[in-house]
Structure 1
Amino acid sequence: MASKARAQAKAEERAERLAELRAQEKARERRRNVQVGAVAVVVLLLLVGVFYLVSQRGGPDTDGVAAAGQSGYGVTIGSEDAPHKVVIYEDFLCPFCGQLEGQTRERLQQLADDGEVFVDYRPFVLLDAEQFDDYSPRAVSAFGVVRDEAGDEVAKRFHDLLFENQPEETASSFPDADALVDLAVQAGADEAAVRPGIEAGVSDYAQGATDEAQEARVQSTPTVIVDGEALANPTADALLGAIGQ
């Protein structure tokens, strides 16, 4: 009986020790999660801060900005005879561009269909690949491939899909060539026509679009120019308000 009691006591002692070890491990795991979460928040704030600081630089030289529909890059909606002309410079990775897109796309499309506005969307690369992977130049390059191979309507749908599927700047991985091809096909492009160009990666199109934006002193995204005037605060309300909406 005594030996059985001792065995039971030892078993209970082991169980208590095991429970204590598990509790300690859970505590350590909670601390790690808190630390990882804190680091992620700091990184996100730094990235947002970079975009914000860039956006506070001097505005574009509107005299050097090609009129809506006159750029060698980008895609347009609406009629050139519309009373209002809008040029939007954007980066496919910029969260503020994604926000503006989501808040204005349907309304601008309706106004374009009604003959009220002519919009020229001009994607370019705002920040280099050393800071934000090479997704932005690859996305702009893919946009150029789709525009050249499938035309403006498909390119505009591809443009919209890129923003709808916009990755976070802090993502551990970014959409690869296959993912971009899939979106291009979803937009209406022929896979055989666009896959080689998209798989080729960063192209002269992305460099050309970026050079044109830089020559016009476009230093932030989104940069929105309405009827020849750059908006100081390019929000959805400011954009729609500038065209009387």
Structure 2
Amino acid sequence: MNEKNQAPKGTARERLQQEREREKAREKRRRVLIVSSAVVAVLGLAAVIGVIAANAGGDKKGSSQAGPLLAPSGVAGKEQLAIPVGATDAPSTLTIWEDFRCPVCAQFENIFRKSIHELEESGQLKVEYNLATIIDGNMGGTGSLRAANAVACAQDAGEFVPYHDVLFQNQPPEPDDAFGNNDKLIELAGKVDGLDTPAFRSCVEDGKHDSWVQKSNNAFVNGGFRGTPTVLLNGESIFPDKAGQQISVANLKKWVAEANKGKKPGTERSAPVPDAS
């Protein structure tokens, strides 16, 4: 009787121990994945910085061909170069400089996108997106410029965020100038409900916001930034680290919480008026 009664208990203990070991293994794999992603991003940033240092002139080729400077609707900032997302009275501001051909920008977006959207939607954070065309200047092509113009057209239509995310989720390899093809950018607009309209297509094909994008890139080149992405929380650099602390999803949330301590979440929101022209 004793042996029969003890056997199930022993089996249960063994199953519990096995489950604990499996949980430890899962946690170890999760930590390795997070650390590996951060390391890849840092290494990628170093590569981008090297390219910029070797060829820091930016996109000079297209600047002489610029037409009238037409900013997209709802822009903000000192020179009206930022596309704002979130509550205008949010207690903290995240400033992001990105290039749609930059692979590290895509890595950053893929790791932090969900958390940034959650902080923005809860009123903790206002995000100001700024566009650069560094890769065009360094590697040739027009994909950075064409994609930036297209996302500015999406801003006119009130669909900046979903289209911005679609572009980074479908980013071609860095040497591949696929975004230099307006047809590709219009094809990707089909992934955003209601964006692929005649007005959007005309805006993309005419390069309506090219001069504004080039002005933004000039501001980036002249701003003394190290590379893309450049990420600032309330004006302080947090990518790839903040005062020696490596950026991570947990740290980003912690830094925002620390900056917002004692402050109310933002509630005032203003959306760009869709441009039907």
TM-score (norm 1): 0.65
Q: Are residue 213 (structure 1) and residue 220 (structure 2) matched? A: yes
Match of 1:242 in 2: 255
Indicate the residue corresponding to 1:174 in structure 2: 178
Q: 1:99 aligns with which of 107, 117, 123?
A: 107
Which of 50, 54, 58 matches 1:53? 50
Greater CA drift, 214-223 or 80-89: 214-223
Is 1:224 aligned to 2:231, yes or no? Answer: yes
Which residue number in structure 2 is paired with residue 159 of structure 1? 164
Please state whether the residue corresponding to 1:128 is helix, strand or coil: helix
Q: Tell me by how many angstroms 1:139 deviates.
A: 0.7
For structure 1, the 5+ residue unaligned runs are 1-46, 58-67
Question: In structure 2, how many angstroms separate the alpha carbons of the residues matched to 1:243 and 1:48?
Answer: 23
Tell me, what secondary structure is at the counterpart of 1:105? helix
Change (3 A) 1:48 1:114: closer
Asked if the contact 1:145–1:197 (Cα under 8 Å) also holds between the matched residues in 2, the reply is: yes
Distance 1:126 1:219, change over 3 A: farther
The verdict on how the C-alpha distance between 1:106 and 1:69 changes in structure 2, with shifts beyond 3 A counting, is farther
Q: Who is 2:34 aligned against?
A: none
The structural deviation recorded for 1:130 is: 5.7
- Once the two structures are TM-superposed, the CA of residue 178 in structure 1 deviates from its matched residue by 1.2
Count, aligned residues: 185
TM-superposed deviation, 1:232 = 5.3
Would you say 1:73 and 2:86 are equivalent positions? no
One-letter code aligned to 1:174: A
CA separation in 1, counterparts of 2:90 and 2:145? 32
Larger radius of gyration: 1
Q: Deviations over 1:66-109 (max 9, x none)?
A: xx942523422221222221101011111111011011111111
Cα distance in structure 2, aligned partners of 1:147 and 1:212: 20
**Are the equivalent residues in 1 in contact too, given 2:99–2:131 (CA < 8 A)?**
yes
Over the aligned positions, Cα root-mean-square deviation in angstroms equals 2.8
Pick the aligned partner of 1:233 from 233, 240, 247: 240
User: TM-score normalised to the size of structure 2?
Assistant: 0.58
Q: Percentage identity across aligned positions?
A: 29
